[in-house]
């Protein structure tokens, strides 16, 4: 494997996992997943019982949204 191919491979790995765009995409995907799960849990909780998973999701969403604001 030549140096050029190795450099391209390294750049591709960086862009896919560690670049600003990759971090933003990962955060957006996690936000969507958590929001979807939060809606489903809330929908399936008609008596309004306390749910620790909903607490965790709310805390994680706050953190992700704050990180998104700070990265702009």
Crossing angle of the two packed helices 3-17 and 20-43, in degrees rounded to 10: 30
User: How many domains would you assign to the chain?
Assistant: 1
Classify residue 32 as exposed, middle or buried by CB count within 10 Å of its CB (0-12, 13-18, 19+): exposed
> Are the C-beta atoms of residues 65 and 35 closer than 8 Å to each other?
no
CA-based angle 25:31:33, to the nearest 5? 105
Position 10 in a domain: no
Task: Classify residue 33: in a domain, yes or no.
Answer: yes
Show the domain range for 59: 24-72
pLDDT in tens, 3-60: 788 888 888 887 777 788 888 888 889 999 999 999 998 888 777 777 788 889 999 9
pLDDT given for residue 72 in this prediction: 66
In a domain, 50, yes or no: yes
Instruction: Measure CA of the first residue to CA of the last residue in the chain; give whole Å.
Output: 38
């Amino acid at each position: 494997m030549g140096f050029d191919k190795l450099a391209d491979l390294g750049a591709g790995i960086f862009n896919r996992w560690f670049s600003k765009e990759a971090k933003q995409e990962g955060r957006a995907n996690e936000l969507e997943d958590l929001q979807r799960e939060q809606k489903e849990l809330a929908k399936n909780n008609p008596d309004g019982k306390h749910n620790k998973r909903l607490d965790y999701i709310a805390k994680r969403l706050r953190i992700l949204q704050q990180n998104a604001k700070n990265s702009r």
